[in-house]
Amino acid sequence: MKNMKRLWRLIISLALPLIAGFIGSMANSISLFSWYPVLATPAFNPPSWVFAPVWTILFLMMGFSLFLIWDQGAKKKKDKSRDYRQAAITFFGVQLVANVLWSYLFFFFQNPFLAFLEIIILWLTIILTIYYFKGLSKLAAWLLIPYLFWVSFATVLNFAIWQLN
């Protein structure tokens, strides 16, 4: 029974970011083939095919990171870091919502400026998530570093697209 609960925590943890990614991709579906290709983009803009595999890997890493934090908390009946763990999971949730919101601002509403402002908030929430996760599990925090790097790159790319258009 204990292993089954742990397995469900893993499945849910992996599924949450993947579901968020799917919801975000729904915003991309039309604009990705109509609006986005006609935008002026910088020379460092990756080809479109790069995004899906990169995001899939990042979402899986994010999910496993969440699992480590959630699973660790489930193993402890009463512990002083419960509020800290709750804050860490809350920041994780906020950054996940911010991630989805960016897709809608950029692709669905076709507004690179608002998307740029929002991606800065996303970047800050990722930093806060990493900070809180590090206090609970260094591995969980390290698993979010590639995500931070990718969003940093996306921030520069978003800014460049906004400026060029």
Average the pLDDT over 40-53 and give the result: 95
Domain that holds residue 107: 2-37+52-164
pLDDT value of position 82: 81
Lowest-pLDDT choice from 26-40, 68-82, 127-141: 68-82
pTM of the model: 0.93
pLDDT value of position 139: 98
How confident is residue 52, by pLDDT bands cut at 50, 70 and 90? very high
Q: Does residue 73 lie in a domain region?
A: yes
Q: Does residue 11 lie in a domain region?
A: yes
Q: Does residue 44 lie in a domain region?
A: no
Which run of H or E residues covers position 128?
helix 112-134
Q: Does residue 97 lie in a domain region?
A: yes
Number of folded domains in the chain?
A: 1
pLDDT value of position 38: 94
Q: Does residue 43 lie in a domain region?
A: no
pLDDT value of position 81: 77
Token duo for residue 143: 């698993």
pLDDT value of position 76: 62
The predicted-structure confidence for 72-91, as pLDDT tens digits, reads as follows 876 665 565 788 999 999 99
Reported residue count of the chain is: 165
Q: Does residue 87 lie in a domain region?
A: yes
Q: Does residue 42 lie in a domain region?
A: no
Nearest-5° angle of CA 147, CA 27, CA 133?
25
How confident is residue 30, by pLDDT bands cut at 50, 70 and 90? confident
Q: What is the mean pLDDT of the chain?
A: 94
Q: Does residue 91 lie in a domain region?
A: yes
- Gap between the Cα atoms of 112 and 55, Å rounded: 20
